[in-house]
Structure 1
Amino acid sequence: MTTLNDKLASLKVIPVIAINKAEDAIPLGRALVENGMPCAEITFRTECAAEAISIMRKEFPEMLIGAGTILTNAQVDEAIEAGVDFIVSPGFNPRTVQYCLDKDMPIVPGVNNPSLVEQAMEMGLRTLKFFPAEPSGGVGMLKALTAVYPVKFMPTGGVSLKNVDDYLSIPSVLACGGTWMVPTNLIDEGKWDELGALVKDAVAKVN
């Protein structure tokens, strides 16, 4: 059975997406899949996030789809109903983590210091989001954490085409979350060819 960690490690980059119109979900999903990135973390920073996930799930059943910026249990329920494969939160909220665990829904919560890593480990988690990566000390801080803790990380926040290889070179990094290949303005303007080219460049960079 392929685990979430296996899938993340094979993809190397997870596009972190803010989508403003649900009708963009299909062309966006197509741009991702056709250019070698069959995955998406749709953030709950916009009102149509759950609807977009639901549409993308039906149209692209093989895609790995996560729900990002999850802050409440109600959002967890919305995301699960929409058909997500995993949950991502910007910080470490034990209540949200436990709620996901009770529902057998994988969650990758955000941490950026030793205390939070230990709290997450105490709840049985071994895959964590390092966020916000660059403002929290970047590669140097992450190497310090990985030297101590037997966990896997998905750094997100300030990761770009310029530094993604530095993060991926750390053995405990499964994949990086990034927004650079899915800029909201290109999604809003329907510039799918331009977006597809950015996705293709990102895939080529990490493979």
Structure 2
Amino acid sequence: MQNNKAFSWEAFEETPVVGILRNVSQEEVDFIVPIYISSGYSSLEITMNTEGATQLIAQLRDDYPSLNVGAGTVCSMDDLEKALMAGVQFIVTPIVNVEVIAKCKSLEVPVFSGALTPTEIYTAWEAGASAVKIFPCSQFGFQYIKDVLAPLNTIKVLPTGGVTKENISDFFAAGATGVGMGSSLFPKEMIKEKDEKALRNHLSLIKNQIYHTIKV
């Protein structure tokens, strides 16, 4: 499949969350995604270390044309090539790989490069990252985002790891452009039990908190 539809920044900025699905089955994806989209979310990544990742990505592109479909855990040029062949609209990495960033930039494919330290964050941004995924953020919290952005205030950051419904407003208040969320967005028990009502309420609660923070 060719990447014939560009990433929608407008949709992402309306609800600036990248949902992360790792080690999921086609059945779980089929349960989650319609609820995710109808709850007002637009951007979803399948990690490349998920079994059958490229097939899941290609299927999502076919089934949900309104969704921004990305590949996560892209660490190498080989990962990138496989993701692009599957038709992804954006790339997420856990590390700074300048070659991957440069290739994405040349293809005009948004890339959210992983980084942690101020030097890594600056390096990723200067290399051309669309936003810098601050990862892992679970040990540092929203105060770290605020501290980093004091001197690096022109950089768009996407904290990932440790973002929850309890603190998501704090991350946006600290200056985050968006956030990445995995199990805190898609609780395993709700998925296992296929509890549509609980998942929909959970997603709506998070979206409302974001909305009230970024729309103020």
TM-score (norm 1): 0.87
Match of 2:29 in 1: 25
Out of 123, 128, 135, the position equivalent to 1:131 is 135
Aligned-residue offset at 1:191: 3.9
The residue matched to 1:154 in structure 2 has which SS?
coil
Structure 2 vs 1, CA of residues 53 and 71 (structure 1 numbering), >3 Å: closer, same or farther?
same
Q: Name the counterpart of 1:69.
A: 73
Identity level (%)? 25
CA distance in structure 2 between the partners assigned to 1:26 and 1:191 by the alignment: 13
| Offset at residue 151 of structure 1 (A) | 0.5
Flag as ranges the 4+ runs of structure 1 deviating above 6 A.
none
Give the alignment partner of residue 178 of structure 1, picking from 160, 177, 181: 181
Deviation per CA, 1:170-189: give whole Å up to 9, x if none.
23x11111121213454455
Distance in 1 separating the partners of 2:73 and 2:122:
21
Q: Which range is displaced more, 107-116 or 118-127? A: 118-127
Matched, 1:169 2:179: no
Deviations 1:88-124 (A, max 9, x none): 0011122322332343322111111111122123323
1:1-207 aligned at under 5 Å gives the runs: 6-125=10-129, 127-135=131-139, 137-149=140-152, 150-171=154-175, 173-179=176-182, 180-184=184-188, 186-188=190-192, 190-207=194-211
Whichever residue aligns with residue 57 of structure 1, its letter is R
CA 1:158–1:192 in 2, change beyond 3 Å: closer, same or farther? same
Contact conserved, 2:57 with 2:86, CA < 8 A, in 1? Answer: yes
Larger RCO, structure (CA 8 Å, separation 6 or more): 1
Describe the superposition over 1:125-182 as per-residue Cα deviations: whole angstroms up to 9, x where unpaired: 35111111131x22222112111121111110011011100001123x1111112121
Displacement of 1:5 in angstroms is: 5.1
CA contact (8 A) 1:31 1:192 kept: yes
Deviation at 1:4, TM superposition (A): 5.6
Change (3 A) 1:192 1:81: farther
- Separation (CA, whole Å) in 1 of partners of 2:9 and 2:150: 19
Corresponding residue SS for 2:185: coil
Task: Pick closer, same or farther for the CA change 1:5–1:128 going to 2, 3 Å.
Answer: farther
Cα separation, 2, equivalents of 1:32 and 1:22:
15
Whether the 8 Å contact between 2:111 and 2:130 is mirrored in structure 1 is no
Q: Deviations over 1:35-83 (max 9, x none)?
A: 2223212212311221111111111101112211111212212211222
Query: Any idea what SS the aligned residue of 1:129 has?
Result: strand
- Tell me which moved more, 110-119 or 2-11: 2-11
Give the residue type in structure 1 aligned to 2:174. Answer: I
Query: Structure 2 vs 1, CA of residues 138 and 4 (structure 1 numbering), >3 Å: closer, same or farther?
Result: farther
CA distance in 1, matches of 2:86, 2:193: 25
